[in-house]
């Protein structure tokens, strides 16, 4: 089967993750950092470890090749959300420049891991540009949506566009609202999760009209997340394969809507690894290759 990096929906062939022990490290480390990183609550290390083992086992069951990011003294708890520091492309990884100052060292730490595993780097977003991986989503193999947010600025999107132009990729800028302000984690993928070529999970109240209309024009059916399930990460859904979805447990209405759309939905307990830190299954993974 053919493979590509330009997909959010194909069956995952290979990906990077960073487990709790390497990211959260210890109770003392969590106690020192969780408030300044704007977590909603202090993660319990034992509970987080159990949640993560279950999460990883689901990835193992689909047969994905899993690479583990090592512990790195230069980064912090947020490094568990490893999607944000890099973007996978068919020309190599694009290393981001984080909009959250406390995460500035993550791209270099990930780059070392990519290079150690023989994965090429296409380029790096440099200051004054900022770009985070949670702000980009492939709509198809030649179209990448990029959220203009407090984490990703116009210059970052300009540099991203220049890097992808030789690969024949169009970048669509999606201006996002202020919402809770600069300190909050609010990415494009907070309101959009493609799960098949014509199906996406969305939270329409925070979605720009023009972009929502674009999705409809491209033939997407939209699974609408209810207000009550937005903060509990109902919109953060990882496609393990087309219409095979992984999401945080407890979002029963969104789960039912996905199942009504013909999806298989797998859930995991994510209170301490996802909800408290604002990072669902898409954030916890950095897929590299997917099957077309």
Residue-level pLDDT at 69:
98
Closest of 208, 261, 197, 202 to residue 236, by C-alpha: 202
Any idea what DSSP says for residue 56? H
Domain total of the chain: 1
Residue-level pLDDT at 205:
98
DSSP alpha helix (H) spans, 62-105 = none
Residue-level pLDDT at 183:
84
Residue-level pLDDT at 152:
98
Residue-level pLDDT at 1:
62
Residue-level pLDDT at 279:
96
- Predicted structure pTM score: 0.96
Task: Tell how far CA 108 is from the center of its chain.
Answer: 18
Which domain, by its residues, includes 162?
3-291
CATH number at residue 154: 3.75.10.10
> Which regions of the chain are under pLDDT 50?
none
Closest of 138, 115, 78, 92 to residue 283, by C-alpha: 78
């Amino acid at each position: 089967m053919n493979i590509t990096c330009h997909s959010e929906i194909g069956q995952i062939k290979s990906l990077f993750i960073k487990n709790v022990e390497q990211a959260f490290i210890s109770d003392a480390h969590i106690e020192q950092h969780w408030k300044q990183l704007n977590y909603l609550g202090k993660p319990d290390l034992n509970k987080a470890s159990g949640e993560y083992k279950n999460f990883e086992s689901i990835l193992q069951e689909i047969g994905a090749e899993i690479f583990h990011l090592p512990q790195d003294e230069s980064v912090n708890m947020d490094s568990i959300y490893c999607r944000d520091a890099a973007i996978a492309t068919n020309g190599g990884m694009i290393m981001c420049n984080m909009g959250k100052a406390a995460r500035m060292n993550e791209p270099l730490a990930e780059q070392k891991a990519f290079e150690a595993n023989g994965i090429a780097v296409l380029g790096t977003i440099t200051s004054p540009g900022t770009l985070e991986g949670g702000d980009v989503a492939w709509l198809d193999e030649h179209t990448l949506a990029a959220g203009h947010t407090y984490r990703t600025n116009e210059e970052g999107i300009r540099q991203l566009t220049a890097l992808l132009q030789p690969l024949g990729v169009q970048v669509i800028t999606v201006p996002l609202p202020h919402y809770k302000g600069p300190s909050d984690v609010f990415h494009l993928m907070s309101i959009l999760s493609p799960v098949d070529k014509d199906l996406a999970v969305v939270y329409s109240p925070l979605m720009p009209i023009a972009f929502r209309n674009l999705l409809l024009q491209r033939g997407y059916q939209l699974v609408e997340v209810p207000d009550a399930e937005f903060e509990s990460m109902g919109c953060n859904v990882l496609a393990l394969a087309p219409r095979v979805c992984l999401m945080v447990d407890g979002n029963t209405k969104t789960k039912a809507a996905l199942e009504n759309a013909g999806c298989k939905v797998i859930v995991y307990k994510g209170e301490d690894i996802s909800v408290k830190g604002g990072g669902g299954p898409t954030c916890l993974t950095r897929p590299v290759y997917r099957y077309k």
